[in-house]
Structure 1
Amino acid sequence: MLVYKSGFDIYHCMYRVLRLIKNCPNQSIDYDRVRIFDYFYAFPYQAEKIRFVQNSGYKKNDFKLPKNKYFSIQDDKQLFFELAGVVDSAVRCLAACGELDISYLKQGRLKIDCEKIHLEPRQYGSCELAGVRSKLVQLFSTCFYDLPLSGKNGLKARTGLMVDKYDA
């Protein structure tokens, strides 16, 4: 049986990355933030595991979706690291096409030229799923954009996907 997982589709990953960057201040964001965002956008059923910032206006219930045994994930971190190659390939492809500024990419940041990109958000899947995905874009382009990546209350610790204790 052939099963399609949009999380492992490089072209869908390019769309996810561009959608996030386009909604961020200055159309620029750290590479690690993009990886974390991409995981939750590709697998929105995992978003309720995020530890949210107090007084941010977001709650776990905002991201709650009906349980589905086919979307359960055994090991979040393993899947996150498997997606690293997909995100890296998508970012390199966008840089090769001229959509991303290569000088920023060398610094570990992604920046686009908004004049070139025209994204029309398409709704696919259920309305509940589309609603959660649009809330995730808002969350990562506003509240989580300003969070430090490292530290006890940083983005890596809040999502539990990346280890931050070895960061300098």
Structure 2
Amino acid sequence: MLVYHPIFDIHHGLFRLCFILDHHPSKEIHIDALRILDFYFLFPYLLSSFDFTQGAGKQGRLLAGPRSKYNMTASPETLLNHLRGLNHLTLTALASKNILAPADLELGVARRTDVALPETIFDAAQERDIELASYLATKLGTIPLYGPKGLKARSHLLEYRYDPV
């Protein structure tokens, strides 16, 4: 049986990262934060274990949806770590087309440039995808990355204890 999941699809990765960045208020985000948001876009049910900021939890839990035995991952932290190379490849591809600023990418920041994307690129997005990307970019994507109340700590996906604060 052939099973498809967008996690390993580079073209879907391009779509996801552009989709999240285009919904972010500043169109600029740290690469690790973008990786976390992308991971939650792929596995929204994992939002149920996120430590939400005040006022963001209700919508986040609604978007998480129910867990089932068919959408479980053994170790989200390990899976996110395995995706580092694929995320790097996707970000580099976007920078090579000047969709992301190459100089900022070298500094660890994904910044959307003014290069226009094809108008039809987001046509395949479903209403739930739009709502999820908007939520992730505006509610979670604006949380500082570092510190005990940062995005890394709240998600429990990346190590945060040794970060500069």
TM range (shorter): 0.7 to 0.9
Q: Deviations over 1:85-137 (max 9, x none)?
A: 1111100111112211111112211112244124424246xxxxx52x43332
Q: Closer, same or farther in 2 for the Cα pair 1:37/1:10, shift >3 Å?
A: same
CA distance in 2, matches of 1:57, 1:39: 18
- RMSD of aligned Cα (Å): 1.9
Match of 2:15 in 1: 15
For residue 68 of structure 1, report the CA deviation from its aligned partner.
2.8
**Alignment length (residue pairs):** 162
Deviations 1:46-68 (A, max 9, x none): 12111111123644531242333
In structure 1, C-alpha distance between the alignment counterparts of 2:139 and 2:60, rounded to whole Å: 14
TM value normalised by structure 1: 0.86
For residues 10 and 30 of structure 1, what CA distance do their matches in structure 2 show? 20
Which of residues 117, 120, 125 is equivalent to 2:122?
120
Cα distance, 1:72–1:145 mapped onto 2, change above 3 Å: closer
Query: Do the aligned partners of 1:49 and 1:159 also contact (CA within 8 Å) in 2?
Result: yes
TM-score if structure 2 supplies the norm length? 0.87
Structure 2 residue runs of 5 or longer lacking an equivalent are none
CA distance in 2 between partners of 1:146 and 1:45 (Å): 20
Identity of aligned residues (%): 28
Secondary structure, aligned partner of 1:148: coil
Mapped contact 1:22–1:114 kept (Cα < 8 A): no
Distance 1:23 1:114, change over 3 A: farther
Amino acid at match of 1:158: R
**Cα–Cα, structure 1 residues 159 and 135, in superposed 2: closer, same or farther, change >3 Å?**
farther
SS in 1 for 2:139: coil
Contact 1:52 1:59 in 2 (8 A): no
Q: Which secondary structure does the structure 1 equivalent of 2:26 belong to?
A: helix
Distance, in Å, in 2 between the alignment partners of 1:64 and 1:105 is 30
1:83-98 map, 5 Å: 83-98=83-98
Q: Conserved in 2, the CA contact under 8 Å of 1:7 and 1:43?
A: no
